[in-house]
Amino acid sequence: MVSPDILARATALRREIERHNHAYYVLDAPTVPDAEYDRLFRELQALETAHPELDTPDSPTRRVGGRALDGFAPVRHAVPMLSIRTETDTTAAGAAAFDTRVRKELGLAEDDAPVEYAAELKFDGLAINLRYEAGVLVQAATRGDGETGEDVTQNVRTVHRIPLRLALDAPPEVLEVRGEVYMRRDDFERYNAKQREAGKPALVNPRNGAAGSIRQLDPKLAAQRPLSFFAYGLGEVRGWAAQPATHYATLDALRDMGMPVSDERRICHGATALVAFHDDVQARRDSLPFDIDGVVYKVNRFDRQRELGFVTREPRWAVAHKYPAQEEMTTVEAIGVQVGRTGALTPVARLAPVFVGGVTVTNATLHNQDEIDRKDVRVGDTVIVRRAGDVIPEVVAVVAERRPQPEPPRFSILESYPACPECGSHVVRLEGEAVARCTGGLYCPAQRKQALLHFAGRRAMDIEGLGDKLVDQLVDRGLVHSPADVYGLDAATLAGLERMAEKSAANLVAAIEASRAATLARFIFALGIRNVGETTAKDLARHFGGLDALIAADEADLLTVRDVGPIVAESIRQFFAEPHNLDVVRRLREAGVTWPETAGMQQSAGKLAGRTFVLTGTLPTLTRELAKERIEAAGGKVAGSVSKKTDYVVAGAEAGSKLEKAQALGVALLDEAGLLALLESGASPENNKPAEQGNLDF
């Protein structure tokens, strides 16, 4: 006699499983991840096994899937599309357990030859039966309940990978090919990106995308979805005289007919080979271009399959060996943020611990405010979390039907975090950007290493030797908190760091000292202002002439600078509005970082305005880049080749063909001293008017 509690639990399980079946197969709106569904299904199976009187004809355990949609004509399968048993042990030991069962059923002794298996992937899509008559596709049907499916011929015809005619001169009278319609990950991402751009709903995951596409009542909508297909077996077969004797050879034959067949399959002899296949695929699972949730082992020979037969609804000769689930269900306990190296505030869901993808997950990324709004994630929600390999876990979707009542408020990063949790600087979200950012770029601890590396870069302050590993040590040991602290480092301190001998320490101190003499453009670029690149930094330096003028500029002033638009202007304004950043700039100037300043283009067109220069050879003290910056800061233009329009060629040691061409055209020649004099006065020095090469002191 079954207790009332067990009867009530079985009844509740049947109702919940049927509700999930309806949501997934009929509404194309999954409410739980596969792993949660599988747990419910196995619990009901266990109850019915322990209490046979609970087993009823309408139990979901008697079914293979959902029922046919009312919008599609029913199709009675000539050969039932039965599912195969799932191995619940997700470790490699599950493969060995299957081999043990098969050998026992076949009555094989320990010293008998190993069983030959066909091992393949378990695709994560929608099972389809393709019926070919005389080689022509006449019907396509879903699995349905295993006995009766849905006629989806018109939709399947839109899947270009499925041949409309088999490549055979004498095709069988009837050949039913069974396989999986699926969606590649890259196709899925591209499709969703287009949907979001158009303001339309995105697909939940590739599997749901494939199922929903095939069940579109309008084939034109199905044709818009990027679907693929792999064949993995047969249904009814009539008149195939040369039908192979093994499963693996059958897949080869289907491939030769023009049918898509995955290359990720193998013939395995015995348990050891099955285990090796399982481990190999698991190691490469995340690099596959499509989703799988496990592998499948089948006894390869058809005669042995017939000998093994079936038990209830499952064949004894095959098993689906799943991997740890990559999607699970849990609840959002809180929403916090992480501040990245560039100042981006990434929202993070703090989760009730859940085992997914082989590890226990307590945090999952929410990406940015747009994604939070699109998925409508709120504290207290039940959510589906996905983790694949080493990819950061993410919240895929909210299970809206489980949302607490009354509804929790929506989450806003700017409302919850008006100030950076790391440094207290203002948090802003600029127009056109998806992320919110901390404005304390030179001060924020989370951005410290990135700010230092950028500041020391070759095109910024050019502090050679201040690289990643050294910056890690300086920051981690608390020796440097901002770029200004770099100028307080001495050789003794540096020599005490790992991989820093006295000579390398002395070289770095010398590089730091040399960087004190910069240009305004380099300094502006080194500050790491959001959206201000090297070219924009030069334009700002040329326009304002001095740092104080730039700091004092309002948005209207900034918009008068060449190529500076509203977004760049707002980034500059936000940066200099932050007291922490101004304090670091002040300390850098106090540390002796200097640069030549001019009146700027607001008051002056520049001493060298309208003049074109060409640089060639090696100058005694100025690098090519620094000479170019000095000329551009004074309003001049630096070209790459000599022409009649060139005003000056600045020649150094080992000057080549550019010098020769300048002499031939009669272009004025300058050495470094002449260039510096020109930069100082704006007038050509007498000894550097057009001259022969020999007049230059190299």
Q: Which helix (H) or strand (E) holds 652?
A: none
* Residue pLDDT, tens place only, 224-256: 889 999 999 999 999 998 899 999 999 999 999
* Residue pLDDT, tens place only, 497-526: 988 889 999 999 999 999 999 999 999 999
- pLDDT bracket for residue 692 (50, 70, 90): very low
* Residue pLDDT, tens place only, 170-184: 999 999 999 999 999
Tell me, rounded to whole angstroms, the distance of Cα 588 from its chain centroid: 38
d(CA 601, CA 609): 10
- pLDDT bracket for residue 695 (50, 70, 90): very low
Rounded to whole angstroms, what are the CA distances from 330 to 319, 394, 401? Answer: 29, 12, 14
- pLDDT bracket for residue 694 (50, 70, 90): very low
What's the fold here for domain 85-322? D-amino Acid Aminotransferase; Chain A, domain 1 (3.30.470)
Backbone phi, psi, residue 546, to 5°: -140, 155
SS3 content of the chain, % helix, strand, coil (to 5): 40, 20, 40
Residue 122 annotated among the catalytic residues of the structure:
yes
Rounded to whole angstroms, what are the CA distances from 292 to 121, 288, 598, 609, 686? Answer: 7, 9, 64, 65, 78
Whether residue 464 has pLDDT greater than 90: yes
Structure tokens belonging to residue 442: 């030179």
Structure tokens belonging to residue 588: 């850098």
pTM over 0.75: no
Q: What pLDDT, on the 0 to 100 scale, is given for residue 598?
A: 82
CATH of the domain spanning 327-416, picked from 2.40.50.140, 2.60.120.650, 2.60.290.11, 2.40.10.10:
2.40.50.140
- Determine which one of 104, 122, 607, 661 is catalytic: 122
d(CA 392, CA 377): 18
* Residue pLDDT, tens place only, 190-208: 998 888 888 887 887 888 8
Whether residue 257 has pLDDT greater than 50: yes
CA-closest candidate to residue 355, choices 654, 588, 577, 33: 33
- Mean pLDDT (whole number) for 24-35: 74
Thinking of the domain 445-590, which architecture would CATH place it in?
Orthogonal Bundle (1.10)
Q: Which helix (H) or strand (E) holds 673?
A: helix 672-681
Structure tokens belonging to residue 28: 């194309």
Give domain limits for the chain.
4-62, 85-322, 327-416, 445-590, 612-695
Q: Do domains 327-416 and 445-590 have the same CATH topology?
A: no
Structure tokens belonging to residue 658: 């550019």
Q: What pLDDT, on the 0 to 100 scale, is given for residue 685?
A: 57
Q: What is the C-alpha radius of gyration for the chain, rounded to an integer number of angstroms?
A: 35
Rounded to whole angstroms, what are the CA distances from 12 to 5, 8, 215, 225? Answer: 11, 6, 28, 36
In sequence order, which residues have a C-beta less than 8 Å from that of residue 185 and are 6 or more positions away? 206, 289, 290, 291
User: Which position has the higher pLDDT, 312 or 206?
Assistant: 206
Long-range contact pairs involving 499-504 (C-beta distance under 8 Å, separation at least 24): 499/469, 500/470, 504/465
Q: What pLDDT, on the 0 to 100 scale, is given for residue 592?
A: 95
Structure tokens belonging to residue 255: 């491939």
Whether residue 113 has pLDDT greater than 90: yes
- pLDDT bracket for residue 608 (50, 70, 90): confident
Please return the burial class of 431, using the count of CB atoms within 10 Å of its CB with bins 0-12, 13-18 and 19+.
Answer: exposed
| Number of residues in the chain | 698
What's the fold here for domain 612-695? Rossmann fold (3.40.50)
Backbone phi, psi, residue 469, to 5°: -65, -40
What's the fold here for domain 4-62? Helix Hairpins (1.10.287)
CA-closest candidate to residue 179, choices 209, 141, 138: 141
Structure tokens belonging to residue 340: 């990245």
In sequence order, which residues have a C-beta less than 8 Å from that of residue 45 and are 6 or more positions away? 61
